[in-house]
Amino acid sequence: MLAIPDEVAAVLRGFPSSDVNAQAFPFLTVDDRGYPHAALLSRSEIEPGLDGNTLLAAIASRRTRQNVRRSGAAGLIVVNGTACHHIKLRVNASVLDGDILGCVFTLVEHKRDDIGIPLSPLSFRTSAELSALEDWPRSAAMIARLQTSLEGGQET
């Protein structure tokens, strides 16, 4: 099993604060006709597992949920300084709770693309209003649920 690179884990780790600029992470899936589909995740929706080998995600987008459940695969793009990380993921376990899909992903492939120029990631301004609109506490609860299931060795 491939480990999540430390550089990627550092960017993804932790819940976003309110009223700060934060990175939006392109999360890529393929629709039922084979076309790419992109959703944007924040740190409220994706977190490295404590085991160092998994990424935990709380996916609220209906189409993205459908694509992940059908294919079992996804991609993630993470920018850090002069590097763009292209990450291929496979669903290892999942749980559907109402309109949110919790997934435990394992790393299939990682490519670090760096030509030495500073990159500007997609970003947005966090706020209490955005947190309420997107129900970040629900996402945090799902991430915690996934982490607990991994720690206990339970199947999700």
Residue 124 within a domain: yes
pTM of structure? 0.94
Q: How many CB atoms lie within 10 A of CB 66?
A: 16
Inside any domain, residue 38: yes
72-102 b/e with 16+ CB inside 10 Å = b? ebbbbbbbbeebbbebbbebbbbeeeeebbb
Residue 111 counted as domain residue: yes
CATH at residue 51: 2.30.110.10
Q: Which tens digit of pLDDT belongs to each residue from 82-123?
A: 999 999 999 999 999 999 999 999 999 999 999 999 999 999
In this prediction, residue 154 carries a pLDDT of 58
> How many domains does the structure of the chain reveal?
1
For residue 156, tell me if it sits in a domain: no
Convert the pLDDT of each residue in 61-92 to its tens digit: 999 999 999 999 999 999 999 999 999 999 99
Q: Which domain holds residue 75?
A: 6-151
Q: How far is CA 152 from the centre of its chain?
A: 22
Q: Give a yes or no: residue 110 inside a domain.
A: yes
pLDDT at 152 over 90: no
CB 44 within 8 A of CB 13: no
How far apart CA 111 and CA 59 sit, in angstroms, is 23
